[in-house]
Chains A and B, each alone.
Chain A
Amino acid sequence: MMSGMKHYKETADYINKMYNRQSQLDESLADQMRESEKIADATSQWRLMWRKFKRNRIAVVGGIVVLLFYLVALFGDFIAPYTLEQRMTRYSYLPPQRVYFFAGGRFQPHVYALETGRDPITLQRTYVPNPDKRIPIRFFVEGAPYKLFGLIPARRHLFGVEEGIISLFGTDGQGRDMFSRIIKGSQISLTIGLVGVALSLLIGAVLGVASGYYGGWVDNVVQRLIEIVRSFPPIPLWMALTAALPQHWSPLLIYFTITVILSLIGWTWLARQLRGKVLALREEDFIMAARLAGASDRWIIFKHLIPATFSHIIVISTLSMPSMILAESSLSFLGLGLRPPLTSWGVLLQQAQNTQVLLLYPWLMLPGVFVALSILAFNFMGDGLRDAADPYTV
């Protein structure tokens, strides 16, 4: 074998000489082509994708918003001035406060102190801001203790007040700060989507690739399974499944079961998409070439099929995030999903389910705005990714 290789090398010079002229011609053509297309050497798929994605402004904005959401969720305990369950009973159902940034021409953010009272007729609490008494907003103040990332004990919060209350989004009936609760809620709402997508990705990718690649009975079984799952409308099925969760389960167990239930339907879409892609790829000659070179199924799946479908997997995951977030908040809103102490945006919205309460205190709807914002951002980003996904087919 080794001598054969040497033999090859010896002949190489000779052949090289022979083909110099021809390859020069060949080369100059290719060079022209390259220049006209302005594709540099070694342009990888990812670079092409990134370049195309960058040109789509709205998608980039969506991506930045998504990134910001996750950053805020990550540092949520620090950014929120209060903790999740911190009650300021004197200030129940406080409407969002107005923040003033300048005092006497100087930058000095502050809120007004509140005079509390009671409406003599409805007996509701009333809050009257007192413009003469300014409460300055302080940065990096000491506040309620928390654990950053659930690990590092800390007391400093990004901002806060030393007396009275600062409540950007108002408070709920128990005097809990909605701003802090929404930030804490984002930790669950945004991760449940991630975990759910990861799970459906795992099931969907394995079954989708397997059914596309192996075909035959594997394909048949997977397709029938998808048809059965798909024959239920999602919300009623989710409702029935989540209603079955025992009351006494631990929050963590509930959290994971809900992600499993959500991915129970999510994977079917992914599997269908990947199957189609793999079916098309399977007929490509380079797959045949690899097989004829002696590649095993595993080699072909992991070295050729998965990399080739990777961009699609990313696009599909991004585009499934909104439906995950939406499903979780819908279920929790109905009282069937997560329940306290787990707090997601949907759980926060439960308070808005009562029409009378909602009409009196409409700011309780604010968590829903964040649901919509995060879905919007994911949709924009996913749309941009989809357009950029396959630089070779365009």
Chain B
Amino acid sequence: MLSYIVKRVLGMIPAILIISFITFVVIQLPPGDFVTSVQAQVAASGGGMDAATVEALRARYGLDQPMIVQYWRWIRGFPKGDFGFSLEWNAPVWDVIAERMGWTLLLSGLALVFMWVVSIPIGIYSARNQYSLGDNLFSFLGFLGLSIPDFMLALIWLVFGTLVLGIPAYGLFSPEMVDAPWSMAKFLDLLKHLWAPVVIMGVIGTAELIRIMRGSMLEVLNQQYITTARAKGLPERTVINKYAVRMAINPLISVLGMQVPKMISSSIIVGLVLSIPTIGPVFLRSLISQDMYLAGSILLFTSVLLLISNLLADLALAWVDPRIRYE
């Protein structure tokens, strides 16, 4: 088991190198560079930059070097936790995104928990009461949840929360709490703001998980060992909880790895709509201003997060399902 984990982790290194290279190429795709976009900004505000300043800027940021050199400069800092310098923020990339990554992970994690907590009981109920009113209702709601884009849900919440409920439905804190030091009041304020984006991010995934759980539960309930367990006279609760659910939950774990990128994508969009400091707003701005190390690092981090979550999902599956062997 341990050697399997080590092998998988080592296997991630070449993957990260390939991903980082593709990321760099993608980020370099747009014509021009950060200095061009600075020039455009200056020009837009009525100013101008002479050629010497432009060249000096380029040289200072190393933008005049060939792409491969720039790439090397970027990745050589990785082992030291140095992900380059954000030209726009005039600060190391890590300082710019560390806190935002934290919020992103927190929101994504909470959304995942929400999805599981809601979908497993509903999936079990739906499977045990197939084609009942409740089952049909849940599957309709599931379809609805599957079909409403997350940004749309966020917009609806924004309008509904503000106009109908009369609460500010955006941001993570109330305006007076933003700069306040941490206290119980601030924490409660955070919770008040946090649940809505978490639910919004979790809706689509919840709908998917309910379907998977229901399907897998139905399959398991038809297995002969369930009939045997019932025939033995085991209480129904034990049959369901100890026998059926334990097996039925495996497909849920195996899609866990696929849920994480969706959560990250969702956190970006929901963050943008609800003005929450996830990596979303920074990423969008860095793309537009061609702040390449910042944009590149964010894209890379999201991909690495995906790799890690896939690994964790595989490990969880191997841990839960004794039939899986690691070779």
Tell me if A5 is interfacial: C-beta within 8 Å of chain B. Answer: no
Question: Which residue of chain B lies nearest to A248 when distances are taken between CB atoms in the complex?
Answer: B31
Contact between chains at B261 and A233 (CB < 8 Å): yes
Contact between chains at A239 and B284 (CB < 8 Å): yes
Tell me if A375 is interfacial: C-beta within 8 Å of chain B. Answer: yes
| Complex CA distance for A362 and B152, rounded to whole angstroms | 12
Complex interface bits, A337-375 against B, C-beta within 8 A gives 1, otherwise 0: 000000000000100110100110010010011011101
A118 to chain B, nearest CB (A): 22
Complex interface bits, A210-231 against B, C-beta within 8 A gives 1, otherwise 0: 0000000000000000001001
Complex interface: chain B residues within 8 A of A373 (CB): 147
Which of A95-103, A122-130, A325-333 is the interface stretch?
A325-333
Tell me if B210 is interfacial: C-beta within 8 Å of chain A. Answer: no
Contact between chains at A241 and B29 (CB < 8 Å): yes
Contact between chains at B31 and A231 (CB < 8 Å): no
Contact between chains at B298 and A236 (CB < 8 Å): yes
A304 to chain B, nearest CB (A): 30
Q: Tell which of B262, B284, B288, B306 touches A232, judged by Cβ atoms closer than 8 Å.
A: B306
| Complex CA distance for A375 and B298, rounded to whole angstroms | 30
Contact between chains at A231 and B149 (CB < 8 Å): no
Contact between chains at A379 and B143 (CB < 8 Å): yes
B210 to chain A, nearest CB (A): 14
B218 to chain A, nearest CB (A): 14
Answer whether A228 and B148 are a contact pair too, CB < 8 Å, given A236-B268, A334-B272.
Answer: no
Contact between chains at A246 and B30 (CB < 8 Å): yes
Contact between chains at B302 and A379 (CB < 8 Å): no
Contact between chains at B19 and A365 (CB < 8 Å): no
Q: Tell which of A228, A236, A352 touches B264, judged by Cβ atoms closer than 8 Å.
A: A236
Question: Which residue of chain B lies nearest to A246 when distances are taken between CB atoms in the complex?
Answer: B31
Tell me if A243 is interfacial: C-beta within 8 Å of chain B. Answer: yes
Complex interface: chain A residues within 8 A of B163 (CB): 359, 362
Answer whether A358 and B158 are a contact pair too, CB < 8 Å, given A330-B269, A372-B152.
Answer: yes
Count residues on chain A whose CB falls below 8 Å from chain B CBs. Answer: 40
| Complex CA distance for A326 and B19, rounded to whole angstroms | 25
Complex interface: chain B residues within 8 A of A245 (CB): 30
Complex interface bits, B11-27 against A, C-beta within 8 A gives 1, otherwise 0: 00001001100110011
Tell me if A178 is interfacial: C-beta within 8 Å of chain B. Answer: no
Tell me if B238 is interfacial: C-beta within 8 Å of chain A. Answer: no
Main secondary structure of the interface of A (DSSP, over half): helix
Complex interface: chain B residues within 8 A of A349 (CB): 151, 155
A360 to chain B, nearest CB (A): 10
Contact between chains at A329 and B149 (CB < 8 Å): yes
Answer whether A365 and B29 are a contact pair too, CB < 8 Å, given A239-B284, A240-B287.
Answer: no
Contact between chains at B143 and A380 (CB < 8 Å): yes
Contact between chains at A365 and B156 (CB < 8 Å): yes
Complex interface: chain B residues within 8 A of A336 (CB): 284, 287
Which residues of B250-293 are within 8 A (CB) of A? 260-262, 264-266, 268-269, 272-273, 275, 283-284, 287-288
Tell me if A306 is interfacial: C-beta within 8 Å of chain B. Answer: no
Complex interface: chain A residues within 8 A of B298 (CB): 236
Tell me if A152 is interfacial: C-beta within 8 Å of chain B. Answer: no
Tell me if B167 is interfacial: C-beta within 8 Å of chain A. Answer: no
Tell me if B199 is interfacial: C-beta within 8 Å of chain A. Answer: no
Complex interface bits, A241-285 against B, C-beta within 8 A gives 1, otherwise 0: 101111000000000000000000000000000000000000000
Tell me if A376 is interfacial: C-beta within 8 Å of chain B. Answer: yes
Contact between chains at B303 and A231 (CB < 8 Å): yes
Question: Which residue of chain A lies nearest to B265 when distances are taken between CB atoms in the complex?
Answer: A235
Tell me if A117 is interfacial: C-beta within 8 Å of chain B. Answer: no
Contact between chains at B268 and A235 (CB < 8 Å): yes
Complex interface: chain A residues within 8 A of B191 (CB): none
Which residues of B274-327 are within 8 A (CB) of A? 275, 283-284, 287-288, 295, 298-299, 302-303, 305-307
B34 to chain A, nearest CB (A): 13
A362 to chain B, nearest CB (A): 5
Most buried by A among B31, B149, B303, B305: B149
List chain B positions with a Cβ less than 8 A from chain A: 15, 18-19, 22-23, 26-27, 29-31, 143-144, 146-149, 151-152, 155-156, 158-159, 162-163, 170, 260-262, 264-266, 268-269, 272-273, 275, 283-284, 287-288, 295, 298-299, 302-303, 305-307
List chain A positions with a Cβ less than 8 A from chain B: 228, 231-237, 239-241, 243-246, 322, 326, 329-330, 333-334, 336, 349, 352-353, 355, 358-359, 362, 365, 368-369, 371-373, 375-376, 379-380, 383
